[in-house]
Amino acid sequence: MPPLPAVTFDIQPQLATPIYRQVVEQVQRLVAGGQLGAGDELPSVRAVAERHAINPMTVSKAYSLLEAEGLLERRRGVGMVVAAGVQPARKGQDRIALLEPALLALARHAHQLGITSDQALKALAKALQSTEQDNP
């Protein structure tokens, strides 16, 4: 089996967000953040499905939606790659807009748990530091 491209997805089946949406949103964020650029390969449908023990049709659906959006293109013999001409989000506001749904969910969860803003911000800062250490 050929080595996987550097992209790996964080699939969490327990979330309410469908798996195909998780893949779509992760690719959108990776492109917006400049971590994926034009011509970069994505792992094959089969490789993602096997790695995460999910149905290949789920991955195929995500890739097809991203292709229809113009973010990905199929290349014969290579598979899915980031489409030519795709640029990272130029402004921080564009990237923040992609983060906003998760921030709103975090705020709702914190409120439901009776967590103060200060406590939530400290927990978020700690999580960000942990992520930065895991992915330098």
- 19-82 folds as Arc Repressor Mutant, subunit A (1.10.10)
Q: How buried is 135 (Cβ within 10 angstroms: 0-12 exposed, 13-18 middle, 19+ buried)?
A: exposed
The pLDDT assigned to 135 comes to 63
The model's pLDDT over 20-59, given as tens digits with 9 standing for 90+, comes to 999 999 999 999 888 899 999 999 999 999 999 999 999 9
The pLDDT assigned to 136 comes to 55
Q: Distance between terminal CA atoms of the chain?
A: 28
Strands 79-82 and 72-75: antiparallel
Compute the residue count for the chain.
Answer: 136
The model's pLDDT over 103-124, given as tens digits with 9 standing for 90+, comes to 999 999 999 999 999 999 999 9
Q: Quick one: pLDDT band at residue 60, thresholds 50, 70, 90?
A: very high
The model's pLDDT over 78-91, given as tens digits with 9 standing for 90+, comes to 889 999 988 887 77
The Cα 92–Cα 130 span in angstroms is: 22
Residue 1 has pLDDT above 60, yes or no: no
Q: Is the pTM of this model over 0.85?
A: no
Which tokens hold the place of 105?
């969910």
Q: Quick one: pLDDT band at residue 4, thresholds 50, 70, 90?
A: very low
